[in-house]
Every structure is written in structure tokens, then in C-alpha cells.
Amino acid sequence: MTARIGVVTFPGTLDDQDALRAVRLAGAEPVSLWHRDKDLKQVDAVVLAGGFSYGDYLRAGAISRFSPVMETIIDQAKAGLPVLGICNGFQILTEAHLLPGAMLRNNHLHFICRDQKLRVENAETAWTADYDQGQEISVPLKNMDGRYVADEHVLDELEAEGRVAFRYLGMNPNGSQRDIAGITNAAGNVVGLMPHPEHAVEPLIGTGGTDGLGFFTSIIKKLVAA
């Protein structure tokens, strides 16, 4: 049976088609999900794609967190549904309290768009198992509200439990605490990161490499094994 991976579109989502393409290139069946529908169409995993949902009014991800589809995603994620939040999707996951911490405006107060080097810190989540711990990858980064912050005790807990999934290398592009680029929940089924792996899945686009494809092959292997 082919794994079915849903990609949610909110008003203002920009990268849903890229995420759907990445899912297809990895070998799964991409399924489009609309923010106003609670029905997840029996998907096996969900991607919250990047963009500026609801124009990032109030706070990035703060309004999307209350979309009808998120009611179902929150309940199912707590029950083990794999969920990947990319950029705006990461912001939504923090607003929904599926991941701890918050995303603030970049410390230099400018939008940033660049190829970004990352180090894989946790290769045991549902979305990172095709990588090696310590592996260095390069994927595009583009954000305005990408600075990850949390209380010191939360940061210490993330470090102690191995829940920092990715860390920025070479430069910290937005002032994120402890160079954190992405984190996971304790169960490893929910992962959020600011850089865009869906833009690094084939040689002709993005970085010109395929360093991001491992996110999507990882979840397929996880689902097949389950």
C-alpha cells in the first residue's frame, strides 16, 4: 500500500505545491488538505507547508492554529500521527503547543533568503531517520519570523532529551537561541524546522541538490515499517 501524505493549505500558504511535489518524488501519494476541512482524508502523515498563513497577522501561525483542520491534526498528533511543520508550519506547531517555544521576528529585522547549512542532531524521529546524526546538509531558508526562543529550562530540557533536531551551521541567520533550526516532540512524530527541505529534493531547483529529500523518504520508510 502506498503511503498517503497530506499537505495543508491555509490562506497565504506559498509552498504547498512544492511540498506535494516532494512527497510525490519520494514515492508517496500526495494529498491536498484544505484548512477549513476537519477531514484528513485518511492520510498517514501531514505536512504543514511554509508561507504567510493569514498574512501572519497577529503573530505568525497564531490564526491558523484555530483553523478547523488543526483541531483534527492536534488530536491525531497527540495520538501518534506524524506531522512535519516547515517554516510557517513550524510557527503553527508552536502556536498549537504541539512543540514548545515560540518564533519571533529575526533579530536583524530583515527577511532572509539563502541556502543554509544545517547539522542533523537527531536522526531518530519519524522525519529524520534517513539521515545520520551529525550529518551536514544544505537546504534553502526564507523567513521573517524565524528566531526560535524558549525559556532556559525548556531549552535545557530539549538538549537533555535530544529533541533539538537541527542546528544552524556557519552562521545563525535569525538569532535563534542555541542555533536551533528545528526541534521534535518527545515521541518523535512531530518535527518543526524553519529551513525548507521541500526546496532541495531535485537537482534543477533550490540548492541544486537533494539534501531535503530525506525528510520525505524517512517518513515513508517509517510508515511502511509500521
Separation between Cα atoms, residue 193 and residue 55, nearest integer Å: 19
Name the nearest CA neighbour of 124 among 204, 186, 212: 186
Mark whether 110 is an active-site residue.
Answer: no
Q: Is 113 a catalytic residue?
A: no
Q: Choose, from 35, 95, 198, 199, the residue flagged as catalytic.
A: 198
Say which residues have a Cβ less than 8 Å from residue 212's Cβ, sequence separation at least 6: 22, 137, 139, 196, 197, 198, 199, 200, 201, 206
Choose the catalytic residue: 35, 95, 121, 196: 196
From CA 185, how far away is CA 169, in angstroms rounded? 22
**Catalytically annotated residue among 35, 87, 95, 199:** 87
Dig out the grid coordinates for 62 from the structure.
Answer: 497564531
* Contact of 191 with 165, CB cutoff 8 Å: yes
Distance between CA 211 and CA 199 in Å, rounded?
9
Please calculate the CA angle 65-74-186 and round it to the nearest 5 degrees.
115
Active site residues: 87, 196, 198
